[in-house]
Amino acid sequence: MREKYIERKLTEAVKKLGGLAPKFISPGLDGVPDRIVLLPHGKIAFVELKAEGETLRPLQVRRKRQLESLGFSVYCVDGAEQIGGILDEIQSS
């Protein structure tokens, strides 16, 4: 599965829940996740999207740990079938 396909499925699923999934671009801060997921009731998480079977680069792992140490949830998605479970987890947090 290609990353762009998974990314499109994520943004569509978030929109159906009444949320937003804007692209996260941070000049000067490399390794940030691809999308910020904003759901109703103040639910927020970061999502890094990968093609099926791909893993995080070392800098992305460090950035993930940094965001998690600040109390944010960070997910790595490499399959469209993971999206529903992750969104359920974000909503219940």
Q: What range defines the domain where residue 73 resides? A: 3-92
Q: How far is CA 73 from the centre of its chain?
A: 9
- Identify the DSSP state of 34: S
Domain count, the chain: 1
1 confidence band (pLDDT: 50, 70, 90) = confident
93 confidence band (pLDDT: 50, 70, 90) = confident
Cβ count within 10 A of residue 50:
19
Tens of pLDDT, residue by residue over 37-88, are: 999 999 999 999 999 999 999 999 999 999 999 999 999 999 999 999 999 9
- Domain harbouring 64, CATH code: 3.40.1350.10
Asked whether the beta carbons of 34 and 25 are under 8 A apart, the reply is no
